[in-house]
């Protein structure tokens, strides 16, 4: 008889209001929130900031994600980056079981949710990613396996040349500075931090084999098939990220 014991995963719950549906592990912290009238919209500010990768990779062919949650980023990329292949690692089966509650698209040729450990996903996925979005918090915070030096090294190796890694970190959590140092070591010291002061999130951007640089004047273009109104709504956010990049440089 095998001695293997399957890991126990916390069960999230859904909190419904007249306008939104949210995924929680505890009532004090929101994992994901969806607008009922616009299921594909990005309701939380930090998720919009993570989409800042479009400044550096406007038309990725392969997007990898660690952490499904309520599927906000997955749904948004599926709709607005209509030529991208999107692969998501989610270790918690109870989270995956709620995918229909949050209008997450079904698995298909260019969209797939995999029940797997995020660290193993990054280490062994058969294709390289143009973009890696890391948002793998669970009921206890950021799992150790998703914050080691090896993990960030594996993220670096999983990217194509010029590929972008984007990590959601909580700036008020213990170990925050250590996570930043590890990302810097994996990416030759060059990262950009953009803070969401309202939510306490700090979004780290890092690019493989080249420093993050602002797009040249007139070079930023709306990705193919990207909704024009949504693209225009990102301009203020892009300005914030470019300002942070200018300050860093």
Residues annotated as catalytic are 135
Residue 182's H or E segment, with its range, is helix 176-186
Two tokens at 104?
């997450």
In 96-200, at which residue ranges do the beta strands (DSSP E only) sit?
A: 111-114, 129-134, 159-170, 191-196
Two tokens at 1?
């008889």
Two tokens at 37?
């009238």
160: buried, middle or exposed (CB in 10 Å: 19+, 13-18, 0-12)?
middle
Q: Which of 223, 216, 243, 246 lies closest to 51 in space, CA to CA? A: 223
Two tokens at 33?
């929130």
Q: Which of 137, 151, 148 lies closest to 95 in space, CA to CA? A: 137
Question: CA 172, 177, 182, 186: dihedral to nearest 10 degrees?
Answer: 90
Helix, strand or coil, per DSSP, at residue 121: helix
Within 72-148, residue ranges assigned H as helices are 72-80, 93-96, 118-124
Contact 12, 94 (CB under 8 A): yes
């Amino acid at each position: 008889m095998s001695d293997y014991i399957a890991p126990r995963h916390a069960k999230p719950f859904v909190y419904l209001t007249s306008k939104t549906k949210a995924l929680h592990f505890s009532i004090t912290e929101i994992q994901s929130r969806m607008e009922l009238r616009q299921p594909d919209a990005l309701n939380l500010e930090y998720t919009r900031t993570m989409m800042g990768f479009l400044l550096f990779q406007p038309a990725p062919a392969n997007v990898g994600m660690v952490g499904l949650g309520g599927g906000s980023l997955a749904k948004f990329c599926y709709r607005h980056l209509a030529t991208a292949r999107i692969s998501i690692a989610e270790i918690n089966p109870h989270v995956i079981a709620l995918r229909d509650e949050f209008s997450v698209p079904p698995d298909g040729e260019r969209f797939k949710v995999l029940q797997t450990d995020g660290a193993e996903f990054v280490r062994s996925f058969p294709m390289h990613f143009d973009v890696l979005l890391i948002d793998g918090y669970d009921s206890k915070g950021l799992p150790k396996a998703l914050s080691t030096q090896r993990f960030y090294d594996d993220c670096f190796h999983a990217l194509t040349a010029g590929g972008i890694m984007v990590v959601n970190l909580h700036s008020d959590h213990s170990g925050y500075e250590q996570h930043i140092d590890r990302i810097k070591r994996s990416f030759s010291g060059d990262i950009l931090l953009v803070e969401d002061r309202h939510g306490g999130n700090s979004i780290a951007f890092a690019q493989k084999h080249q420093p993050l640089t602002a797009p040249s004047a007139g070079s930023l273009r709306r990705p193919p098939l990207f909704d024009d109104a949504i693209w225009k709504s990102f301009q203020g956010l892009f300005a914030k990220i470019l300002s942070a990049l200018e300050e860093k440089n």
